[in-house]
Amino acid sequence: QVHLVESGGGVVQPGRSLRLSCAASGFTFSNHAMHWVRQAPGKGLEWVALTSYDGTYKYSADSVKGRFTISRDNSKNSLYLQMDSLRPEDTAVYYCAGDRNYFSYGIMDYWGQGTLVTVSS
C-alpha cells in the first residue's frame, strides 16, 4: 500500500526558513517524478514544484521561484522542499504527490495527507 507522509510543517515568522520532508513507501519511489502542491485555507490547489525521477529536472511555480527548492534522495525514498524567505501568503497545507511517470505530465497518482505551514509574526 502506498504511503506518503509529510513532516516539517509548523508556525514560522516571515522571512525565515523551513524544510519539509516526505517519506515514501509502498511503491518504487525512484521510478516516479514527484511534486509539492499547496492549498491555502479555504482555497484551491496550487502546484509548487516538481522533480523528475532522478532529480535531474526540476521546475517550480513563479510564485516560489528563487525561494523554494525541491530535492529528493532516492536512497532514502524521500522528497524535500526547502522554503526560504517565507511570506504570509505561503501559508497553506503542503502536499507531497507522486506522479504516474518518470518525467512529469502532471498526473498525480499518490498523495500524502499534507502538512500545515503557517507564516505569521
Number of helices (H), then strands (E), in the chain:
0, 11
* Binding flag, residue 55, other proteins (CB under 8 A): no
Among positions 24-53, residues that touch other proteins (CB under 8 A) are: 35, 37, 44-47, 50
Cell of 100: 504516474
Nearer to other proteins, 16 or 58 (CB): 58
- Pick the stretch among 23-31, 66-74, 75-83, 110-118 that binds other proteins (CB under 8 A): 110-118
Which of the ranges 8-16, 18-26, 55-63, 74-82 carries the binding residues for other proteins, by CB under 8 A?
55-63
Decide if 115 contacts 42 (C-beta within 8 A): no
Question: What residues contact residue 44 under an 8 Å CB cut-off, 6+ apart?
Answer: none
